[in-house]
Each structure stands twice: as structure tokens, then as C-alpha cells.
């Protein structure tokens, strides 16, 4: 059999295996196809490239899916836009077939997202009611091992979110199909592309659809839950875990300013970062909460450790004057006082749900968004 013809047949069989979802990886598909066709008697140069297999998969898609494929591509791109709005804090990048147009029935929507911990991302998803699984995949390549973090989201279309550290946001990833830099689009770039390709689509309304369904209080609940497993130093926190401490601080804050939702949220959420990055729990908390708290609540959380330094006399004069000049300085010191007092064994607190119900009622009473 001529080498060219054999290569084409292997590409056809590998593409069939992938199109019918019997295989998901190019390398495994081409090896299985070669074994079937050659009974193990093949040479490395008989194997087709990933690009050749992809072109054959697209041929199947055009043949069996017809115009439906075009409509499906549009819907997938709009779904990607909604998800990227949801995860905007994690600088998402759309990659893969949804961006390039090489989709077929059952294709995933592939996104790169950037965060040093996976928890803020899953917490954001928890607030939408979307179902997902987390996968940590160990890959050995070029003699080195690397663990890839994936979040598989199940909606009308399936999403695969690959989570990279924030330091890699500008890294140039290489395509296994073309050997070149992966094509990718940021949120503004995708919006521009869709506006040009689908001028009749109501992008603003559709991109906000998933955000409108979100309940910020579910996000708070998801971020608070892991604190129960965060055990703290008995020297500074004799009361026990970080969740019990946070609920104590919330109860004390209610006695101080029972109708100040922003202040109460800061009291309840000030330590959520301890379950994400204990080395810098303040920055981790602010990143996880993103736009789901107001700038005032964020400011109180951001500076609550400096408020302790003011009382300890360990803060510089310039930093102290800067904080003292802020309009919310008095509330910051009240938060510090509640934080310092909320460390008592046996202190009576409610459940997390009780605290969130109180805040929900307060938000409705104040006509808050």
C-alpha cells in the first residue's frame, strides 16, 4: 500500500474514532487506527499529523451536521461570552474550536483562566447553580511532570476550564495541532469578533444573562464553608476554627452597627482568604470576592490587619495618617475591635445560613442590588 494512501486511511479512521467520541486524544486515536489497519506493521512516518486528522473530523461535521453546525457555532460563542463575563476577574481566554470555528457536535468550549488557587473559581461557579467537576491531571512530557488543573462545567454546552497561575497570563502556549502559538481571545477581543460576525446578536443582554441568575449570597456561603477546616493558632485564636471566629465577629458587629450591610459583610467575610492562601489571606479574599462586594466592604477587609497594627503600635506614621484620614476609619477600628473580641470559647453564634438570611433581609430592606 502506498505510504500516502495508508496515511490518509489512518487519518480517516482516527478522525472517525474521535468524531464518534470513542477517543478524545489525537495520539491515542492515530495509534488505535494504525493498529487496526496495519495490524501493528506501520512506521512513524505512516502516522498522520493532528492537523490532517482535524481536517477529516471537520469533513465529517460538514457532511453530517450541515447548516446546524453554523448555528451551533454561534450559540457556543455566545455561551463562551457569558462564561467569560462570569469569570472576568480571572482574565479568561477563549481557545480551541469555538474560537477557530472547527466545532462539531459535542465539542467542548475551552477556556484558559488564571488564578493561583482553584477555589475562587469554583466559588464563583457555586453562585450560579452550575454543575461542575474538578480534575487534576498529571502529565509527563519532555522528561518533566506537570499537574494540570481542569474544571469541567456542565451546561447546555460543556466547558473545560484550564486553570493556570496568574504569572502565566502572558505565556505563549503552543498548539499540539499546528505547532504554533495557540490562537486565543480575551473578553474584549471576543466581544469585538462577535460584533463583527453576528451584528444582529444582542450581545449585551445575552452576555449578562448568567450574571443576572447569580446569587451573591451563595458565593459568600461557598467561601465561608471551608473555614470550618481552618484550624488557627491557639495562642491567638483559642476559640477554634476560622469559621467559628468569623461568626463571632459577625455577631459582635451586629451589636455595633446592625443596619450597616457593608460593615457586617466585612465582619463576616474578612478571613475567607485563610482557606485559599494563608500566606496572604487578605489579598486572596479580595480576589475571590471580586465585584460581589462593594468598594467600601473591600476597603474594610483590605485594611483590617493594619487596624490591628495601629493598636499594637507597629504601623508607620505615614500609613497611620493615611488610614485616619479615610472616611470609614471609625468603622475600620470598630471592625478591628470585633475581630479582637471574637475569640471566645463557647461564644453563642448562629449558623452561616442565619447570618446570610439576616444580610439578605437587610439588603431587601435597603433596596440594595
Average pLDDT, rounded, for the chain = 85
**Residue 185 per-residue DSSP state:** B
Give per-residue pLDDT as tens, 274-304: 999 989 999 999 999 988 899 999 999 999 9
**Residue 11 per-residue DSSP state:** H
Q: Which pLDDT does position 26 carry in this prediction? A: 73
Q: Please tell me the distance from the alpha carbon of residue 206 to that of residue 304, in angstroms, as a whole number.
A: 38
Give per-residue pLDDT as tens, 8-52: 888 888 878 777 667 767 778 788 888 888 876 777 777 888 778
Write down all domains in the chain, each with its CATH number in brackets.
3-65 (no CATH), 67-212 (3.30.460), 216-365 (1.10.3210.10)
Q: Please tell me the distance from the alpha carbon of residue 57 to that of residue 79, in angstroms, as a whole number.
A: 23
* Burial group, residue 231, by CB count within 10 angstroms (0-12, 13-18, 19+): exposed
343 — pLDDT class (breaks 50, 70, 90): very high
Give per-residue pLDDT as tens, 178-221: 567 888 899 999 988 888 888 776 665 444 454 444 578 888 98
Q: Which helix (H) or strand (E) holds 159?
A: strand 158-164
Q: Which pLDDT does position 174 carry in this prediction? A: 78
Q: What percent of the chain has pLDDT over 90?
A: 43
Mean pLDDT confidence for 334-339:
96
Q: Please tell me the distance from the alpha carbon of residue 91 to that of residue 274, in angstroms, as a whole number.
A: 23
Give Cα 345 distance to the centre of its chain: 36
Mean pLDDT confidence for 220-241:
89
Top mean pLDDT of 12-21, 69-78, 308-317 is at 308-317
Angle at 72 between CA 69 and CA 77, to 5 degrees: 125
Give per-residue pLDDT as tens, 89-126: 899 999 988 887 776 677 889 999 999 889 889 988 88
pTM to 2 decimal places = 0.55
Amino acid at each position: 500500500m502506498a505510504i500516502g494512501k495508508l496515511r490518509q486511511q489512518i487519518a480517516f479512521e482516527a478522525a472517525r474514532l474521535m468524531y464518534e467520541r470513542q477517543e478524545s486524544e489525537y495520539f491515542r486515536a492515530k495509534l488505535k487506527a494504525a493498529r487496526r489497519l496495519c495490524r501493528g506493521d506501520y512506521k512513524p512516518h505512516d502516522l498522520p499529523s493532528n492537523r490532517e486528522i482535524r481536517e477529516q473530523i471537520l469533513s465529517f461535521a460538514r457532511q453530517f451536521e450541515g447548516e446546524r453546525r453554523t448555528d451551533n457555532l454561534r450559540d457556543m460563542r455566545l455561551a463562551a461570552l457569558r462564561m467569560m463575563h462570569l469569570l472576568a476577574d480571572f482574565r479568561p481566554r477563549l481557545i480551541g474550536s469555538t474560537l477557530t470555528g472547527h466545532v462539531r457536535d459535542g465539542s467542548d468550549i475551552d477556556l484558559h483562566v488564571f488564578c493561583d488557587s482553584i477555589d475562587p473559581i469554583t466559588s464563583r461557579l457555586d453562585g450560579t447553580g452550575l454543575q461542575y467537576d474538578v480534575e487534576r491531571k498529571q502529565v509527563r512530557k519532555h522528561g518533566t511532570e506537570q499537574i494540570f488543573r481542569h474544571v469541567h462545567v456542565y451546561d447546555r454546552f460543556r466547558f473545560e476550564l484550564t486553570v493556570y497561575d496568574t504569572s502565566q497570563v502572558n505565556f505563549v502556549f503552543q498548539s499540539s495541532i499546528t505547532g504554533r502559538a495557540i490562537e486565543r481571545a480575551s473578553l474584549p477581543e471576543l466581544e469585538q469578533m462577535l460584533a463583527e460576525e453576528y451584528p444582529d446578536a444582542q450581545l449585551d443582554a445575552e452576555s449578562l444573562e448568567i450574571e443576572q441568575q447569580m446569587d451573591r449570597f451563595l458565593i459568600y456561603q461557598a467561601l465561608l464553608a471551608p473555614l470550618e477546616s481552618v484550624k488557627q493558632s491557639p495562642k491567638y485564636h483559642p476559640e477554634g476554627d476560622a469559621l467559628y471566629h468569623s461568626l463571632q465577629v459577625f455577631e459582635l458587629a451586629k451589636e455595633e452597627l446592625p443596619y450597616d450591610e457593608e460593615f457586617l459583610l466585612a465582619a463576616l467575610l474578612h478571613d475567607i482568604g485563610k482557606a485559599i492562601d494563608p500566606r496572604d489571606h487578605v489579598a486572596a479574599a479580595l480576589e475571590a470576592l471580586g465585584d460581589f462586594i462593594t468598594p467600601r466592604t473591600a476597603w474594610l477587609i483590605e485594611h483590617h490587619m493594619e487596624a490591628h497594627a495601629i493598636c499594637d503600635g507597629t504601623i508607620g506614621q505615614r500609613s497611620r495618617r493615611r488610614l485616619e484620614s479615610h472616611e470609614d476609619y471609625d468603622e475600620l477600628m470598630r471592625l478591628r475591635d470585633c475581630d479582637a473580641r471574637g475569640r471566645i470559647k463557647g461564644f453563642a453564634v448562629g449558623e452561616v445560613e442565619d447570618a446570610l438570611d439576616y444580610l439578605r433581609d437587610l439588603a431587601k430592606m435597603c433596596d440594595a442590588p
